[in-house]
Amino acid sequence: MAILDFDLNVRLRTFDLSVSLGVDRETLALVGPSGAGKSTVLKAIGGLIAPDAGRIVLDDEVWFDSTGGVMRPPEERSVGMVFQEYALFPHMTVRQNIAFGERKGARRTDELIERFRISGLAEAKPDSLSGGERQRVALARALVRDPRVLLLDEPLSALDAHTKEMIREELRELLAELDLPTILITHDFADASALAARAGVIVAGEVRQLAPVGELARHPADAFVATLTGNNLLPAVAEPDREGGVVVRFDDGQTIGADRALSGPVGVVVAPWDIEVLGGELPRGEVPPNAFFGRVSSLTAVRDRVEVRIGPVQVECGVAEAHELGLEVGGQAWAVLERAVIDLVPLGRDTPRMLT
């Protein structure tokens, strides 16, 4: 049995949240859009709301049981929680904020101030701190009670891009060191991928897919998961071929082959970094296999990479490679989609709107 087990049912305004999961000594991310029910899960586990039905158990300790009438208050649950905007007390110093949650006689505040390298800020007020400093204070306050479960509500969303990258690495090291059942909620799959071993994609109160983070990106269960994890999702129609695979036909008549046994309206799923780019000027007759030909509509430099849009296909390649290929906006290029890196998902009513 997982260390933390919960089965929650909560009636929300527009849908019912129904989530049943187990969390071992690991970081589990719940990823999804705003309003999907992610924060409600944390509030229920932390004792801030009472679910309409279900059960929450840590080891053999029952925190909530709708059938048995058990509802432990937050102070009787060994939980450390970091809120989205950190929720620091503005009238208190850093030291006072951290010490607020300390158990009587524990004397952990000074230890955590030193551990998070905020000794020089101990007497400062929250409004004088940077985003990264406020996050360190919030983490220290969550850990001062020596919790057995850690709950993180969008812990990186309030940070600028530069600070976010630095804090993400610090947080990953901290979570590995703590080795606690941890639930991280985020709308950013990059955060989930960097910090969690497993992730569940939650939409309208339902977990669409639960898997190791790499598996979610490589083999999404549906169109929503495909786009959430950063993949291309290209609408097409698949028809069986004679070799047991399928021929995938796009709206403009171009075709590629795929090995997934799926027919009818499909989304072609392929990661931008798994696509090879070729320049538009090729020797006559040398059409690359399994490739999509199109106009280059954008070139965006991101650190040491270039994001290229070829027709509807988003591709990533190196800066030097883009220069050597002579890629330019308004020009043409090939996006080579090898069969081994292609997945297909059925297209349904909840398919995200396509960019063309």
The predicted-structure confidence for 73-86, as pLDDT tens digits, reads as follows 999 999 999 987 77
Domains of the chain are 4-218 (3.40.50.300), 232-346 (2.40.50.100)
Burial class for 181, CB neighbours closer than 10 Å (0-12, 13-18, 19+) = buried
pLDDT at 350 over 60: no
> What does the pLDDT read at residue 288?
80
When pLDDT is cut at 50, 70 and 90, the band that residue 104 belongs to is: low
DSSP letter string, 270-295: E-GGG-EEEES---TT-PPTTEEEEE
Q: ∠ CA(15), CA(228), CA(83), 5° rounding?
A: 65
Helix, strand, or coil here: 341? helix
Residue 282's pLDDT is 61
Least confident of 16-30, 38-52, 213-227, 339-353: 339-353
Q: What is the mean pLDDT of the chain?
A: 89
pLDDT of residue 106: 60
pLDDT of residue 298 exceeding 50, the answer is: yes
Query: Tell me, what's the pLDDT at 84?
Result: 78
CA distance 184 to 161: 19
Average the pLDDT over each of 35-49, 68-82, 86-100 and give the range with the smallest value.
Answer: 86-100
Q: pLDDT tens, 130-143?
A: 888 888 898 999 99
Average pLDDT over residues 44-67: 96
**Residue 285 pLDDT:** 57
Structure confidence at residue 354 as a pLDDT band (50, 70, 90): very low
Q: How confident is the model at residue 352 (pLDDT cuts 50, 70, 90)?
A: very low
User: What pLDDT was estimated at residue 100?
Assistant: 87
Query: Mean pLDDT lowest for which of 11-15, 163-167, 186-190, 268-272?
Result: 163-167
**Average pLDDT, stretch 295-323?**
91
Write the pLDDT tens digit of every residue in 141-170. Answer: 999 989 999 999 988 887 877 888 888 888
Whole-model pTM: value is 0.86
Can you tell me the mean pLDDT for 12-36?
Answer: 94
- List, for residues 251-294, the tens digit of each pLDDT value: 989 999 998 878 899 999 999 999 999 887 664 556 788 999 99
What's the confidence (pLDDT) of residue 17? 96
The CB density around residue 319, as the number of other CB atoms within 10 Å, is: 13
Written as six digits, the tokens of 349 are: 């009513």
**pLDDT computed for residue 348 by the predictor:** 66
Q: What is the pLDDT of residue 303?
A: 80
With H, G, I as helix, E, B as strand and everything else as coil, classify residue 324: helix
pLDDT over 80 (residue 33): yes
Phi, psi of 215 (to 5 degrees): -65, -35
Flag the least confident range among 155-164, 193-202, 330-339: 155-164
Please say if the pLDDT value at position 318 is more than 60.
Answer: yes
Determine contact, residues 223/196, Cβ cutoff 8 Å: no
